[in-house]
A and B are shown apart, each in its own frame.
Chain A
Amino acid sequence: MIALLQRDLKLAIRAGGGFGLGLAFFLILVVLVPFGVGPNSDILSRIAPGILWVGALLSCLLSLDRIFQLDYEDGTLDLLATAPLPLEAAATLKALSHWLVTGLPLTLAAPLLGVLLNMPSEATLWLVASLALGTPALSMLGTFGAALTVGLKRGGLLISLLVLPLYMPTLIFGAEAVRRGTEGLPTGTALAFLAAITAGCAALLPFASAAALRMNLR
């Protein structure tokens, strides 16, 4: 298991593309927003948490089709399916490594980019907390979407149509936690729901992903 995780991480970092790309996309998105809505700092600071959450969502989406596609093409996935390690565990590890190379860096970069958007300082803590709680769910859901579309030649567009609706509850609770935190309201409910979504995803989605992979490999 550790070996698989190490292999995925090394591939993601050394093979280029996946690791830096999501982060660069996140940066570009944040730079584009002020051009779109104007440089007025009041407006920017009001929408900053929402923009950062949506940006994290989209950057996550960008690298999803790489989760299984390369392994599917060179046959590694067939080996994983016949290996003694259950496919459910392999799917969990894939989601974990996806989170380590996209979700975690995004969470850490978000406060820096928040400075660019003039985000109020009290929002920073809540943003990091909600991203840290919510992005694992994004990776889990993304792995499920990638497992559904692994056999397709052009799965990239389809994956976004499948996965983005599934992302909505996470986005709602995540952005709501930041908004309430910034206004000084209690954030416990939103963060608890966010944690519940992540826990539920971690418990159930590996089974759905593994089932979808088996159907695709048949």
Chain B
Amino acid sequence: MSIWEYANPTRFMQTSGKLLPLVSVLSFACLIVGLVWGFFFTPDDYRQGSTVKIIYLHVPSALMAINAWMMMLVASLIWLVRRHHVSALAAKAAAPVGLAMTLIALITGAIWGEPMWGTYWAWDPRLTSFLILFLFYLGYMALWAAIENPDTAADLTSILCLVGSVFALLSRYAVNFWNQGLHQGASLSLDKEENVADVFYFPLLVSIAGFVLLFLALVLLRTRSEIRLRRASALISRERLS
């Protein structure tokens, strides 16, 4: 039993079919608990007032926006090395989800920034690098959409993902050099003594779990429909030949 068994589409469809309802229900449960707890049962921050509560959407979506790209990078590498079609389709499926996460992070950040910084948008390094990440997602999806042959499309988008990762990372540090930021440092980290206060911390963890599971559910769902789409087009072309 190894993970490579799931490279077989039939095997993947079986397991993901069982997994999908479970993951979706868990994700909705976590999201509802995390968001309701966060929005209604935590105190207001003494400086930021109730605007602090946008953290329950902003932080998890920003986290997933970056992790979605990481997942695409790993899936692209697997496709380039081992040529498993499920892997390429999973990378394709993750891109729009990652794009949506980036957009949520940008929009919630803008909504929070208006009362706090007095502006919806500032050319702050973190904000700018997220905008750049957004553009990378757009380019990646446009390349997928433009190429007809699915294998060539998977190859080329994988290469783009590899090169893009390097340059996205480079941009991340370049913008630090370019402008000093308004954005605060990381709110959560594993090696730091001081994180956000516990009252905010636990609901935040629950909603992060909800977002991770939501991402997983959406990617599984989209990968399944990509596989079905691939099967349908194979059937159609076989029909046409006979």
Contact = CB atoms under 8 A, between A and B. Distances in A.
B175 interface: yes
Contact of A215 (B152, B163, B167, B178): B152
B139 interface: yes
Contact of B171 (A155, A169, A205): A169
Interface in B116-136: 132, 135-136
Given A165-B132, A208-B163, A176 B177 contact: yes
Interface string A60-80: 000000000000000000000
Contacts of B175: 172
Most chain B beta carbons < 10 A, residue from A149, A161, A165: A165
Nearest to A157: B142
A211 interface: yes
Which size bracket describes the interface of B in this complex?
Answer: 20 to 34
A164 B139 CA distance: 9
A87 interface: no
A5 interface: no
Nearest to A155: B146
Contacts of B162: 208
Interface stretch (B61-69, B89-97, B153-161): B153-161
A161 B177 contact: no
A152 B163 contact: no
A77 to B, nearest CB: 15
B136 to A, nearest CB: 5
A197 B168 CA distance: 13
A212 B159 contact: yes
A176 B178 CA distance: 7
B229 interface: no
Given A169-B174, A216-B156, A218-B152, A152 B139 contact: no
Contacts of B178: 172, 176
Contacts of A173: 174, 177
A152 B174 contact: no
B177 A165 contact: no
B199 interface: no
B19 interface: no
Nearest to A179: B178
A162 B147 contact: no
Contacts of B70: none
Contacts of B164: 165-166
Interface residues of A, number: 28
A190 interface: yes
A189 B178 CA distance: 12
B168 to A, nearest CB: 8
Interface in A190-218: 190, 193, 197, 205, 208, 211-212, 215-216, 218
B143 interface: yes
A148 interface: yes
B174 A166 contact: no
A169 B167 contact: yes
B170 interface: yes
A166 B167 contact: yes
Contacts of A149: 143, 146
A165 B152 contact: no
A216 B152 contact: yes
Nearest to A165: B135
A139 B111 CA distance: 39
A164 B174 contact: no
A144 interface: yes
B143 A158 contact: yes
A168 interface: yes
B22 interface: no
23 contacts: A144-B163, A148-B143, A149-B146, A161-B138, A162-B160, A165-B135, A165-B139, A166-B164, A168-B167, A168-B171, A169-B174, A172-B175, A172-B177, A173-B177, A176-B177, A193-B174, A193-B177, A208-B159, A212-B155, A212-B156, A215-B156, A215-B159, A218-B152
Interface of B: 132, 135-136, 138-139, 142-143, 146-147, 152, 155-156, 159-160, 162-164, 167-168, 170-171, 174-175, 177-178
Interface of A: 144, 148-149, 151-152, 155, 158, 161-162, 164-166, 168-169, 172-173, 176, 189-190, 193, 197, 205, 208, 211-212, 215-216, 218
